[in-house]
Amino acid sequence: MYKVLDKDIIEMEIVPNIPMPRRGFPPRVALSEIVNAVLYKMKTGVQWEYLPVTSLFSARALTWQGVYYHFRKWCLSGTFYRCWTGILEKYRDRLDLSSVDLDGSHTPALRGGQGVEYQGRKRRKTTNALYLADRQGLPLAMSEPVAGNHNDLYDIEVQFEVVTATLENAKINVEGLFLNADAGFDSKDFRSACAAKEINANVCFNKRNGDVERDEYFDQELYDERYVIERTNAWMDSFRSLLNRFDTTTESWKGFNYLSFIVLVLKKFKIKKSK
């Protein structure tokens, strides 16, 4: 059976971040195998009820309802977010923070749900979120998902606070960062949010704001490196459960996103280190 991550990596990097239940009975199977089943679902996009549980568990298998129960419990408790910030802190010295890239992404939401509305440009219902990546294209943080009828600047000061809070929770200093963003982020509110964090906003000028001379900082050579975040989006789209959103709750959607962050970083650092 295909595995997204090696069992040893799951046990060393993810399982220690999963809280054990204070009441009731402990899980009947190894937590690493439950995590592996969730990762399989994320990678393949298979419907929960068709999860091949007999092949994913070595001895006693959980039902697909059991796997889903643990996934939802971990999403609601913020387990995947805490796991992500812990891994981000552990490997922060291996990140390339010479500059970072911010971009918005509209994901088709095929079953509707929370944070879903019609997006005219996509001609379908979507969920919108902001993503931050380092110079290597490794994901760092995401905003709260919002309905797709909102653009990237919707509630930008609050959403940018969510993004930077993830870095701060991982003990990554945001002061002095150079941040690339496209013309869609060329607004006074976004620039003010960056200035409040002492982040250097390298935002492409939006022609809709006029052709008058402007004194804001802009480095074209640095901005040309922004293509890296498009590669990040492609990496994340390789997980079929992220390419199209089927989960109707934002908690599950965020859970899959943070899991994808974890997988991409561990594959970059942990697997190479073990060779």
pLDDT in tens, 71-104: 999 999 999 999 999 999 999 999 999 999 999 9
Residue 275's pLDDT band (cuts 50, 70, 90): very low
Round to whole Å and give the CA distance between 264 and 28: 29
- For the cut 60, the answer to whether the pLDDT of residue 166 exceeds it is yes
Identify the residue with better confidence: 251 or 3. 251
pLDDT at 23: 67
Q: Give tens-digit pLDDT for 98-136.
A: 999 999 999 999 888 999 999 988 889 999 999 999 999
Q: What does pTM read for this prediction?
A: 0.93
Please report, for the chain, the start and end positions of each structural domain, with discontinuous segments joined by +.
Answer: 7-77, 96-239
Q: Is 18 left (phi over 0), alpha (psi -120 to 50) or beta?
A: beta
Round to whole Å and give the CA distance between 258 and 83: 8
137-154 average pLDDT score: 95
CB atoms within 10 A of CB 5: 22
140-166 average pLDDT score: 96
SS3 275: coil
Q: Give tens-digit pLDDT for 34-65.
A: 999 999 999 999 999 999 999 999 888 899 99
Report yes or no: 186 and 209 within 8 Å, Cβ to Cβ. yes
pLDDT at 271: 60
- Classify domain 96-239 at the CATH topology level: Nucleotidyltransferase; domain 5 (3.30.420)
